[in-house]
Amino acid sequence: MLKHQKHQSVVYNSNGVDFTIYATPKPTKSGLKIYWVLEERLTTGKRRLLNNKSLKAAKDRADKIRAATLKGQAARMSLTNGQWQDVWLAFEVLRNAPYGESLYSAVHSWLECIQLLDGKATLFDAVKFFVENHRGNGLKPIRIRFDEAAKLYHAFKVADGKSASHCDNIRSRLNRLATKLPAGVMLDELTAGQLEQAVVNLGLRPKTRNEYKITLGNLFTWAAKQNPPLVTKGFNPGKEMERCKIKHGDVKFLHVPELAQILTSLPAKRPDLLPLVTLVCFAGLRPSEAARLTWAAVRLCIEEWLDKLPPVYTSAIYQTKCDAVYQHVYDMYGGGVAG
């Protein structure tokens, strides 16, 4: 197709920015026509192709795009009426000064401040303005140990109505981490490096390590929202931990002959696993779900299922059926499948 075939290409400089413009033929109802395509990345940061009927129209469009970006930059550079774009930056630097973990973000913020000031004021002017005008009315964080914060966070999740398994996972993960961290370490002293090393020392797989990262990020976010806060706003080493890359394996579904072969050979190799494997295969359960299954849960499931019997079945018949089905399941899978 001739649609994207470049014939003539020029580089047009608009106020210090180069735009590529090229001619390309495009089929229309009236025949083949030449359009001038303008490539630009300023407005969205991504490559865009803009069609124009002439080279002059393409250049005019480039000038308009460049003028719009300059106008936006000028608005962001404005420091009039005491609205200093770097005030929040000075606050970030002063707030994070005691914490080595936020040193990177502070240096990055100073770099942004230099670009915003653009020679209109010095960094000292920005900090002086902040110190003179910041009232400091916000609540100061109270210091707390990591293990104490973990207990409060778990209690919050329980009170918030989260599921028992979800709350148990949070408590288990934070308790395990506490054993790998320095004894009595304060919550606001932890760094991403310390947390990463603690998670690594637990010997976890990449997927589980990422789940620990999420749990820690949520813990610090919750801590900053308390009244009074437990850490300063924005201090979250959990979110600064590196995310592990996960290799996803292909899922293979067993066919009936393969399943029959497994069930036939299993009694000789691991007879203790035969009830579990049978239940997992035919009930569609995950191994972890089957391992947590209790006989009380099995009984409840049977009763709920038999509730669908027609009304002709009396309560006595219903109870008899429940007992019979439960006894059959127990006889078949009673080898330690359910606790």
Q: Could you tell me the residue ranges of all domains in the chain?
A: 8-77, 81-133, 146-224, 256-333
The CA-atom distances, in angstroms, between 40 and each of 7, 67, 151 are 18, 13, 53
Is a pLDDT exceeding 70 seen at residue 24?
Answer: yes
Tokens of 119: 């020679």
Reported for 104-109, long-range contacts at CB under 8 A and 24+ positions apart, including other chains, are: 105/234
The helix or strand, by DSSP H or E, that contains position 13, with its residue range, turns out to be strand 8-14
Nearest to 174 by CA among 141, 189, 152: 152
Is a pLDDT exceeding 80 seen at residue 261?
Answer: yes
Give residue 152's pLDDT: 95
Question: Span 94-101, mean pLDDT?
Answer: 49
Question: Span 74-97, mean pLDDT?
Answer: 51
> What is the per-residue burial (b if ≥16 Cβ within 10 Å, else e) of 302-321?
beeebeeeeeeeeeeeeeee
Is a pLDDT exceeding 80 seen at residue 290?
Answer: no
Degrees to nearest 5, angle at CA 198 with 192 and 203: 130
Contact criterion met (CB below 8 Å) for 185 and 146:
yes
Is a pLDDT exceeding 90 seen at residue 45?
Answer: no
Please provide the average confidence, as pLDDT, over all residues in the chain: 76
Q: Which residues contact 21 (CB under 8 A, 6 or more apart)?
A: 9, 10, 11, 12, 36, 37, 38, 39, 55, 58, 59, 62
Is a pLDDT exceeding 90 seen at residue 177?
Answer: yes
- What would be the CATH architecture of the domain defined by 146-224? Orthogonal Bundle (1.10)
Is a pLDDT exceeding 70 seen at residue 99?
Answer: no
Is a pLDDT exceeding 70 seen at residue 121?
Answer: no
Is a pLDDT exceeding 80 seen at residue 273?
Answer: no
Question: Span 300-311, mean pLDDT?
Answer: 79
Give residue 249's pLDDT: 62
Give residue 132's pLDDT: 59
Is a pLDDT exceeding 50 seen at residue 3?
Answer: no
85 falls in which pLDDT band (50, 70, 90)?
A: very low
Higher pLDDT, 234 or 69: 234
Is a pLDDT exceeding 90 seen at residue 222?
Answer: yes
Is a pLDDT exceeding 90 seen at residue 214?
Answer: yes
Is a pLDDT exceeding 50 seen at residue 81?
Answer: no
